[in-house]
Amino acid sequence: MPEITLVQAVNDALKEEMRADDDVVVLGEDVGVNGGVFRCTADLVDEFGEERVIDTPLSESGIIGAAIGMALYGLKPVPEIQFADFIWPAFDQITSEMAKMRYRSGGQFTCPMVVRTPYGGGIRGGHYHSQSPEAYFTHTSGLTVVVPSDPYDAKGLLKAAIRSPDPVIFLEPKRIYRAPKQDVPADDDYVVEIGKAAVRREGTDFTITCYGAMVEVAMKACALAAEKGWEGEVLDLRTLVPLDEQALIASVTKTGRLVTLQEAPKFSGYSSELSAIVAEKAIDVLEAPIRRVAGFDVPFPFTLEHVYMPHAERVLKAVEDVMTF
């Protein structure tokens, strides 16, 4: 079982699905000869050719529009948006067409496609290469939104997404593209079920919900909390829509306290929805107010990236708040 990075896991998933199904095609800016800006599509064009690995013009709306047409006519396109920050020119195509095709056609047409895009900070990319736009897409009915946190899940979730009959937004946390490495089966045709959260750390005193690169931050915060005698549970959501609500309520019921963690700005963020669900359905088990740890409600900074992005000490402060309430 090889030890690989998240980049390699994505690459392996694409190769395996393209070998298994001739209808799977990849398209986007520099995905072919160059292998993608992060090399997630490296060597694909050598094996599958330019008809299935398509270098497109610099036009996000054109990339997604073309992919929608491909999906409607029987292909399974996997378009790449080079950075999530560049996705806005295609926002109308995604939310008005891709997401609504099954509904508007009364089930006559589906739109089986996966929009892959790296998101988030951690590489000193500044405010045009570091944003976390997941909340925009979780607000749109018809979209599945997936965020892996390690190489094993990245491969299994991407394979499941490509096989899905409906459109998926697949957000890849570029901060952890190349670290850490993980043992991932090379020959085992496994998938990770979409819509199922994973408990990364068992705990009894408080729950931290997280996804993507924030899982590692949550784990470090729990290690710091353990030094104070508090045992935290880390719930990696993995899929934002559909949410594993059962796992969320079960964890909070066990611990009685909730800290939500996201890299995106706090106001109207995805964690706010988690907080509302718990407040509506499990308020009787809460022993303290819910605390949200998130990015700040400002443009993503360049020089102060380390201040903007949540870190273990900020999460620990929220843990202290709920434990000493």
Residues designated catalytic: 129
CA–CA distance, 264 with 286 (Å, rounded to integer) = 25
Q: How far is CA 32 from CA 5, 50, 55, in A?
A: 20, 7, 5
CA–CA distance, 144 with 129 (Å, rounded to integer) = 23
Q: Can you list the alpha helix ranges (DSSP code H) found in 208-325?
A: 214-226, 245-255, 270-281, 305-308, 312-323
Report the candidate in 36, 73, 31 with the shortest Cα–Cα distance to residue 54: 31
Q: How far is CA 237 from CA 96, 174, 221, 298, in A?
A: 26, 18, 17, 25
Q: How many CB atoms lie within 10 A of CB 119?
A: 27
Q: Can you list the alpha helix ranges (DSSP code H) found in 73-213?
A: 91-92, 101-104, 134-138, 151-163
**Strand partners of residue 260:** 209, 292
CA–CA distance, 284 with 269 (Å, rounded to integer) = 24
Report the candidate in 14, 154, 4, 176 with the shortest Cα–Cα distance to residue 80: 14
